[in-house]
Amino acid sequence: MRNEQSETFLREKIEIERIANQAVMKAKEENKRFGIPEFFSKNGVIYYVLEDGNITTERPEILKDKA
């Protein structure tokens, strides 16, 4: 019984990860269409990946407040 529960759990985990990965890829594609750069954090610093592939810590204009 325990082994069946483990297998079921692992199958469900893999399916959830697959769905989550698809959602992330779809969001990245949509952001790219709208000119929104990818970004990530490393050691507490936010980095932006520009359309030309360059990486910067300077916040791109499209992400700045327009208020």
Per-residue pLDDT of the chain (67 residues), as tens digits, is 578 889 999 999 999 999 999 999 999 999 999 989 999 999 999 999 998 999 999 999 999 886 5
Q: Are residues 15 and 27 in the same domain?
A: yes
**What tokens does 24 get?**
């992330």
Looking at residue 65, what is its pLDDT?
Answer: 81
Its pTM surpasses 0.85: no
Based on the fold, state whether residues 2 and 27 are members of the same structural domain: yes
Same domain, 23 and 40: no
Q: Are 36 and 62 in contact (CB under 8 A)?
A: yes
Distance CA 50, CA 56 (A): 8
Structural domain including 5 reads 1-34
